[in-house]
């Protein structure tokens, strides 16, 4: 399958200050996003996530490197015909109504009148802004602006959707809605590229991730490849067995009344704990293996770099 995005050796420095001091932001970024996949772009603040996205969109001119979008060079405006973008904090023309704003966006894509009307109606329904469509944007709440932003990113029914921190600042219900929409993109065959700090959400929906630290990609790969199924430890909750019985087998994390929560390292030990419980006529209440999460990987990678 073709690459939706292909970035090779992207470099960018900025000259800041009156006596120009050069700060290297991107030191040679290389990664690609395959068509149809949902790709998460992670990194600590200041690593260069937003700079990468802005370079992709043509807002910033790279010092070196190449970027292609569906095979087209990113410098040509045509490369953005099938692209939809939602910025981190949506800033729109506050004197336009939601509907007018979407109509304007449709004009920028050159949609004809029938297409325009149909699409605007559909999008307003999708993001739940039908009732607020004729209010000026300056009257919208943060959540509503986010939805309007999502709607404008979808006006051209894009093959590639680029989202910068789409889940930030929303309440859990809002986050769920957005997550559902992103999953829907995946079903529709759209490619999704987004940055986020909320690693649990990334774990839930991404196919591949890249971690950028200090202007360099330090980890890239499929989520399943990076996050091993390796079990770190198993949490066992038992009752009816005195905690001392487990000495040497597991750590007692907490004891409440009759119940004991143990942390057991190693599969062999888990088996022993289970046998012990069975032999002591106790009760095994819960057994949950705890695997490596993305957060573990992220923290580990960042602190190591």
Partner 1 sequence: MKIRAIAGITFKEAKRDRILYLLFFFAAVGIVASRVLAILTVGDRIKIIKDVGLASISLFGVLMAILIGTGLVYKEIDKKTIYTLLAKPLYRAEFILGKFLGLVVTLFVMTAAMTLIFLAIAYAHTLKFEGRLLVAVAYIFLELVLITAVAILFSSFSTPILSSLFALAFYLIGHLSWGLELIIKKMQPGAGKVLVRGLYMILPDLENFNFKTEVVHGLTIPPGIYLSSFLYGVCYTAFILGLAVLIFRRRDFI
Partner 2 sequence: MLKGAAAKKGSATVLLVLFLLATASAIVVLKAATDRVVRKKLPGSSIIYIPSGKFLKYATFGYGTLAADVVYLWAIQYYSTPTIDDRFDHLDHVFAIINELDPRYQDPYEVGAMIAVQEARDTRAAFTILDRGAANNPDQWVYPFDAGHIALMNLKDFPLAEKYFAQCLKIPGAPAFVERLRANAIFKKGDLKTSWETWLDIYKRAPDERTKKIASNHLYNVKATIDQTALEDAAAKYRERFGRLPADIRTLVRTGLLKEVPKDLDGNDYVYDPATGKVTTVISPWRR
Applying CB under 8 A, the residues found at the interface with partner 1 are 14, 54, 57-61, 77-81, 83, 85, 87, 89-93, 95-96, 104-105, 107-110, 149, 152, 162
Q: How far is the CB of 78 from partner 2 (least distance, A)?
A: 11
Q: From the list partner 1, partner 2, none, which binds 77 (C-beta under 5 to 8 Å, kind-based)?
A: partner 1
Total site size for partner 2, rule CB under 8 A? 6
Residue 32 or 66: the one with the smaller Cβ distance to partner 2 is 66
Does 64 engage in binding with partner 2 (CB under 8 A)? Answer: no
CA dist., res. 187 & res. 36, Å (int): 9
Cβ neighbors of 52 (< 8 A, separation 6 or more) are: 7, 10, 26, 29, 41, 212
Residue 5 or 226: the one with the smaller Cβ distance to partner 1 is 5
Q: From the list partner 2, partner 1, none, which binds 66 (C-beta under 5 to 8 Å, kind-based)?
A: partner 2
CA dist., res. 116 & res. 103, Å (int): 7
Using DSSP's 3-state secondary structure scheme, residue 54 falls into: helix
CA dist., res. 269 & res. 255, Å (int): 20
Q: From the list partner 1, partner 2, none, which binds 21 (C-beta under 5 to 8 Å, kind-based)?
A: none
Q: How far is the CB of 102 from partner 2 (least distance, A)?
A: 31
Cβ neighbors of 25 (< 8 A, separation 6 or more) are: 12, 13, 14, 48, 51, 215
Residue 145 or 212: the one with the smaller Cβ distance to partner 1 is 145
Q: From the list partner 2, partner 1, none, which binds 87 (C-beta under 5 to 8 Å, kind-based)?
A: partner 1
Q: From the list partner 2, partner 1, none, which binds 73 (C-beta under 5 to 8 Å, kind-based)?
A: partner 2
Q: How far is the CB of 8 from partner 2 (least distance, A)?
A: 9
Backbone angles phi, psi at 272, to 5 degrees: -60, -45
Of positions 46, 73, 221, 266, contacts partner 2 by CB under 8 A: 73
State the pairing for strand pair 83-86/160-164: parallel
Of positions 75, 228, 291, 305, contacts partner 2 by CB under 8 A: 75
Q: How far is the CB of 76 from partner 2 (least distance, A)?
A: 6
DSSP state letters, 228-257? ---EEEEEEEEESS-GGGGTTTEEEEEEET
Q: Which two tokens stand for residue 302?
A: 């960042």
Residue 62 or 149: the one with the smaller Cβ distance to partner 2 is 62
Does 66 engage in binding with partner 2 (CB under 8 A)? Answer: yes
CA dist., res. 135 & res. 86, Å (int): 21
Q: How far is the CB of 180 from partner 1 (least distance, A)?
A: 23
Residue 110 or 242: the one with the smaller Cβ distance to partner 1 is 110
CA dist., res. 67 & res. 199, Å (int): 26
Q: From the list partner 1, partner 2, none, which binds 57 (C-beta under 5 to 8 Å, kind-based)?
A: partner 1
Q: Are 219 and 226 in contact (CB under 8 A)?
A: yes
97: DSSP letter:
B
Q: From the list partner 1, partner 2, none, which binds 149 (C-beta under 5 to 8 Å, kind-based)?
A: partner 1
CA dist., res. 279 & res. 219, Å (int): 46
What residues make contact with partner 2 under the rule CB under 8 A? 66, 68, 71, 73, 75-76
């Amino acid at each position: 399958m073709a690459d939706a995005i292909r970035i090779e050796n992207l470099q960018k420095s900025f000259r800041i200050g009156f006596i120009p001091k050069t700060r290297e932001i991107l030191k040679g970024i290389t990664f690609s996003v395959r068509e149809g996949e949902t790709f998460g772009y992670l990194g600590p603040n200041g690593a260069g996530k937003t700079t990468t996205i802005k370079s992709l969109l043509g807002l910033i001119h790279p010092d070196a490197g190449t970027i292609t979008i569906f095979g087209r060079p990113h410098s040509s405006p045509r490369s953005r015909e099938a692209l939809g973008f939602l910025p981190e904090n949506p800033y729109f023309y506050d004197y336009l109504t939601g509907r007018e704003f979407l109509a304007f966006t449709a004009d920028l894509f050159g949609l004809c009148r029938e297409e325009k009307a149909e699409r605007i109606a559909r999008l307003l329904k999708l993001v739940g802004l039908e009732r607020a469509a004729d209010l000026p944007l300056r009257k919208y709440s943060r959540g509503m602006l986010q939805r309007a932003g999502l709607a404008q990113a979808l006006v051209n029914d894009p093959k590639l959707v680029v989202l910068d921190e789409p889940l930030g600042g929303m309440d859990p219900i809002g986050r769920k809605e957005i997550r559902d929409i992103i999953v829907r993109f995946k079903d529709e065959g759209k490619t999704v590229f987004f940055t986020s700090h909320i690693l649990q959400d990334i774990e839930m929906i991404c196919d591949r991730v890249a971690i950028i630290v200090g202007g360099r990609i330090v980890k890239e790969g499929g989520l399943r490849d990076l996050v091993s199924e390796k079990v770190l430890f198993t949490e066992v909750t038992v009752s009816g067995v005195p905690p001392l019985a487990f000495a040497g087998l597991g750590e007692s994390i907490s004891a409440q009344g009759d119940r004991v929560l143990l942390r057991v390292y190693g599969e062999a030990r888990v088996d022993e704990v289970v046998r012990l419980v069975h032999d002591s006529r106790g009760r095994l209440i819960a057994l949950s293996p705890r695997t490596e999460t993305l957060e573990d990987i992220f923290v580990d990678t960042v602190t190591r770099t």
